[in-house]
Structure 1
């Protein structure tokens, strides 16, 4: 962990650079110093079917969902959330120039007893 999912409305295709957004969000996660590089995943998932607010076709959204393991203080989680939201807000600023865009972020802690992982990336990055 952490895994950051960027869910976005399909009508944002071609209106924002989702590859650049994912790359910038990954860098922001790493800059917090709270997570090991081999654990970070950022993925964007397009929502082809959605209904937003007053159903105007130009309405669009991006929802950021950060799943993390337990072990960080409330202050650390808040700092990470604020940094991610600031990065996303900066890169998505042109979308806020219209009254048809919504951005949200939620951080969720995963119960380690209910989470299974096998990661061959960690040993490589740790030099083992």
Structure 2
């Protein structure tokens, strides 16, 4: 764990391509010291249209799904590391946000190969 879902305005690819965005999410997660590298999963979802404050503008949002059990300060620190890391990577983004969401540890299932 975690699963990081990065939704970003496609026009941000002029600053950072998909490989850079994937690497940033992975590297920031590793630097947090919270996860083993083998547990980090990152997926990108480019969007063609986005509004910020009612106007077209580049934006980026990271949803970080975590197994339940981490305290609020830990999740807040991870969110802040993510938004600060992405702010440096895509300075033209008008909005960068992150949210850590708990997944139920008892019912989570996966196959690792």
**Which category describes the TM-score, using the shorter chain as reference length?**
0.7 to 0.9
Say whether the 8 Å CA contact 2:5–2:64 is kept in structure 1: yes
- Scaled by the length of structure 2, the TM-score of the pair is 0.84
The structure carrying a bigger helix percent of its residues is: 1
Structure 1: 5+ residue stretches without partners: 121-128
The structure carrying a bigger strand percent of its residues is: 2
Among 70, 84, 87, the residue aligned to 1:86: 84
1:2 corresponds in structure 2 to 2
1-structure distance, mates of 2:59, 2:50: 10
Q: Which has the larger radius of gyration?
A: 1
* Alignment size in residue pairs: 112
2-structure distance, mates of 1:24, 1:35: 15
CA shift for structure 1 position 104:
1.4
RMSD over aligned CA atoms reads: 1.9
Which one is further off, 32-41 or 107-116? 107-116
Among 64, 67, 92, the residue aligned to 1:66: 64
1-structure distance, mates of 2:17, 2:34: 26
Question: 1:68-89, CA deviations, whole angstroms, 9 ceiling, x for partnerless residues?
Answer: 1012222221221111111111
2-structure distance, mates of 1:10, 1:90: 17
Question: 1:77-107, CA deviations, whole angstroms, 9 ceiling, x for partnerless residues?
Answer: 12211111111111112x05xxxx2211111
Structure 2: 5+ residue stretches without partners: none
